[in-house]
Amino acid sequence: MLLINDRDRLDWRDGMTVQEMLDKMPAALAADWMVSAWDQNTVIRNATPGVSGVEEVAASWLIDLLGLPSQSGVGFVTGATMANFTGLAAARHQVLTAAGWDLDRDGLAGGPRVTVLVGEDRHATVDLALRYLGLGEPTTVAADEQGRIRPDALASALVGVQGPVIVALQAGNLHSGAFDAFGQCTRLAHDHGAWVHVDGAFGLWACASPALRHLVDGVEAADSWATDAHKTLNPPYDCGIAVVADPNALRAAFGLQASYLTHAGDHVEMFERVPEFSRRARGVPVWAALQSLGRSGVADLIDTMARNARAISAGLATVAGAEILNDVVFTQVSVSFGTDERTRAVTGRLLADGTTWMSGSRWRGRDVLRVSVSNWSTDADDVAASIDAVRRAARS
Ligand SMILES: Cc1ncc(COP(=O)(O)O)c(C=O)c1O
């Protein structure tokens, strides 16, 4: 029975080997089943103290593991789209309040225009979240050849903006895996009074790897972060995470009053951190994943994925006519096979073969075969089989 109130009894288990880690990963799946069987509504601590306690522990472990500000508010949502929505909702509320506009009373109409600056190669779901929030289309800022927002272009864009501003940065470009220059961009944005949000759906997990942490240098200075557990950490789907440095900004965006909701003191309740009200205890599988892996197990998991991506890239580079288009810094590889037509044909044959799944996509004006290493169980044999499958598809 998982009824967790004593944080000391839940300490990290260090020193697991990769093999042990792979064996133990099903803990998150089992926890997810238990969440369904328990059917606890994770709204307020007074009503469901067990699952709320587990989520609190998972939240504190997460911000410790990712090196984010310790007082941050954490909301467990369905995925990174809703985590982006959650962080950007807190941002919208805060920048409008700072501009003297009462969003809750007056809505958006007639208020100051909120400018949202995004890199031109951001993920489409950032735009979707902005649509949900009524903020319209973002203003795009030029990106470099890896898809990173250009700090010089961001500086120029900020100079031209009047009124409330939000800057959305990216940890992990879906084609290249590239990371924005967080330290420099966040300083520029904060100098202009902007809120900085980071979409780190899969890439924020680089924070948890000592070997890869340099990729996210300075990310902790942002104001909000979105990530997925279901991508990199690998509990079952329905597991995104929103983190906001100022928990009161989260409460300001999502809090509500109702006579039957008995708050536990000053505690920011579960429902005050997420867009939903009733919801499953989706933080429990996160707790189980972290408990079973430990700090070093999570780092191994991420390092193994990145190592597999490098091995796939090295293998694909030996396939006749293949060109790796990105610097493989994390878990993504984009490859072209000369013409767009041939790239599409190779992709089609690979998917028909069925040995491995890589997606067709289009990046920087070219068709690509896109690899995203994101399964916890991918091993060297899978990598070799995948490379062989691409080689066959490229030969046919
Ligand atoms: C960078 C990035 N942001 C956001 C998302 C959306 O995540 P989700 O599908 O969990 O909503 C993705 C999904 O691939 C992504 O790669």
Of 27-31, 68-72, 99-103, the poorest mean pLDDT is in: 27-31
Distance CA(232)–CA(9), nearest Å, equals 26
**40, 50 contact by CB (below 8 A):** yes
Structure tokens at 370: 């896109």
Helix or strand (DSSP H, E) at 366: strand 366-372
Of 23-27, 143-147, 215-219, 253-257, the poorest mean pLDDT is in: 23-27
Separation of 79 CA from ligand 1 center, angstroms? 7
Residues 6+ apart with CB under 8 A from 40: 48, 50, 51, 280, 281
Separation of 48 CA from ligand 1 center, angstroms? 30
Of 125-134, 261-270, 294-303, the poorest mean pLDDT is in: 261-270
pLDDT band at 160 (very low <50, low <70, confident <90, very high): confident
Q: Which atom of ligand 1 is nearest to the CA of 199?
A: 3
The separation between CA 315 and the C-alpha centre of its own chain, rounded to angstroms, equals: 28
Q: Which atom of ligand 1 is nearest to the CA of 230?
A: 10
Taken as a whole, the chain contains a residue count of 396
Could you tell me if the CB of 122 is within 6 A of ligand 1?
Answer: no
- Nearest-CA neighbor of 312 among 192, 177, 144? 177
Q: What is the pTM of this model?
A: 0.93
The amino acid occupying position 45 is: R
- Nearest-CA neighbor of 289 among 329, 334, 234? 234
Distance CA(249)–CA(170), nearest Å, equals 21
Structure tokens at 175: 């084609």
Could you tell me if the CB of 229 is within 6 A of ligand 1?
Answer: no
Q: Where are the alpha helices (DSSP H) in 160-223?
A: 182-191
pLDDT tens per residue across span 334-363: 999 999 999 999 999 999 999 999 999 999
What's the pLDDT at 5?
37
Could you tell me if the CB of 199 is within 6 A of ligand 1?
Answer: yes
Burial class of residue 142 (count of CB atoms within 10 Å of its CB; 0-12, 13-18, 19+): middle
The per-residue DSSP string of 316-357 comes to HTTSTT-EE-S--SSSEEEEE-SSHHHHHHHHHHHHHH-SS-
For range 120-143, the mean pLDDT: 98
Separation of 4 CA from ligand 1 center, angstroms? 31
For range 310-331, the mean pLDDT: 98
Could you tell me if the CB of 77 is within 6 A of ligand 1?
Answer: no
